[in-house]
Structure formats: structure tokens, C-alpha cells
Amino acid sequence: MPGSKLDPIDRKILRELQDDGRMTNVELARRVGISAPPCLRRVRTLEESGLIKGYHADVNARELGFEVQVFAMVGLHSQAEVDLSAFEEKCRNWPLVRECHMLNGEIDFILKCVAPDLSTFQNFLTEGLTSAENVASVKTSLVIRGAKDEPGVPFDVLESRANAED
């Protein structure tokens, strides 16, 4: 179910749930202008199709004691699919790695890492990341502050594209 094939009600449901995933189905139905039973059916269809991947609390990492956020740019010796998949699996098993993205260009992966302090991150960097099989280089950048952290997608862009197709 590609984004352009969604009807306006489905797009409204996705927008509302992206903004507040904790609202009741009754409230969601009210906001999108349909009754609760068809709203719930639509939400389940969106979940089953993979357009809704899950529901999460947006926790404050700093308030929980994770003072350090680092982006690590990783280059690998080999970019064979088996080696790329092995590195991705390793990243899924490292708790400090919160995001892992394969890129094209000079670096192979960018990792978003969080740690309670610099020494914890340094330990992960030296004993985990740089010593991992197939890792050729690692460059890190410590986050000083974040200016924007917006989850999801810009639904106004999606709406504009949908309206242009009509």
C-alpha cells in the first residue's frame, strides 16, 4: 500500500497516530471523521501492511542519564552482501547503537549511539566497534546539541503530492 494509494482518511489516521499514538480509537475516529469500528479496521490494515511499524514512548535520553550522543561513520574492508549483513547484525546486538544506516559514498554506515558517559562510549568504540571484524575505519562526531528531532514523515508533503495526483 504505497503512500500515494492511501485515501484521505488513511492519511489522516497516520498523521494523527504519528502525532499521538496513545489516543483511544474513539478519539482517533472522532478526529478523522468516521465511526470507531471502521477506524479500528483501518488501523489494523495499516499495521498489517507495515505502514504502522509500532508504538513507542519518546523518552528523554539525557533525563535518563544518557549524556553522550555520538554519530559514528564506519568504513568496511568488504562491501560484499554477506559482510554488510554481518555488520548490520552486529549493530542490532550492540545496545549503545540506536540507529544504523547503510550509505553510499565515502562511508558505508552511519551509527547513532548513546551512552551514559564518554568513558562508556570510548570503551564500546575501542573494544566493540573498531575491533569488529571487517571494520576498516571509524570516524566519530560528538553531538553538542540537537536542533531538531522530528520522528516520522512530513504529512503536509504527502498531502500535497496526493492532491496533485487527483
Q: What is the pLDDT of residues 107-139, one digit of tens each?
A: 999 999 999 999 999 999 999 999 999 999 999
Residue 145: left if φ>0, alpha if ψ -120 to 50, beta else—which one?
beta
User: Residue 42 and residue 76: Cα distance in Å, rounded?
Assistant: 43
Instruction: Please check whether residue 80 lies inside any domain of the structure.
Output: yes
Question: Is the pLDDT reported for residue 1 higher than 70?
Answer: no
Instruction: Please check whether residue 159 lies inside any domain of the structure.
Output: no
pTM of the model: 0.85
Question: Is the pLDDT reported for residue 18 higher than 90?
Answer: yes
Instruction: Please check whether residue 119 lies inside any domain of the structure.
Output: yes
Averaged pLDDT for residues 65-81? 97
Instruction: Please check whether residue 148 lies inside any domain of the structure.
Output: no
Q: Backbone phi, then psi, for 9, in 5-degree steps?
A: -65, -45
Averaged pLDDT for residues 139-145? 97
Averaged pLDDT for residues 32-40? 97
Highest mean pLDDT: which range of 52-56, 97-101, 154-158: 97-101
Q: Are residues 38 and 76 in the same domain?
A: no
Last residue of a domain, one of 57, 76, 98: 57
Q: What's the chain's average pLDDT?
A: 94
Q: Are residues 73 and 137 in the same domain?
A: yes
Q: Are residues 138 and 72 in the same domain?
A: yes
pLDDT of residue 79: 96
Classified as helix, coil or strand, 19 is helix
Domain count, the chain: 2
Instruction: Please check whether residue 112 lies inside any domain of the structure.
Output: yes
Residue 6: left if φ>0, alpha if ψ -120 to 50, beta else—which one?
beta
Domain that holds residue 80: 68-142
CATH number at residue 16: 1.10.10.10
Q: Are residues 72 and 52 in the same domain?
A: no
Instruction: Please check whether residue 62 lies inside any domain of the structure.
Output: no
Q: Are residues 73 and 53 in the same domain?
A: no
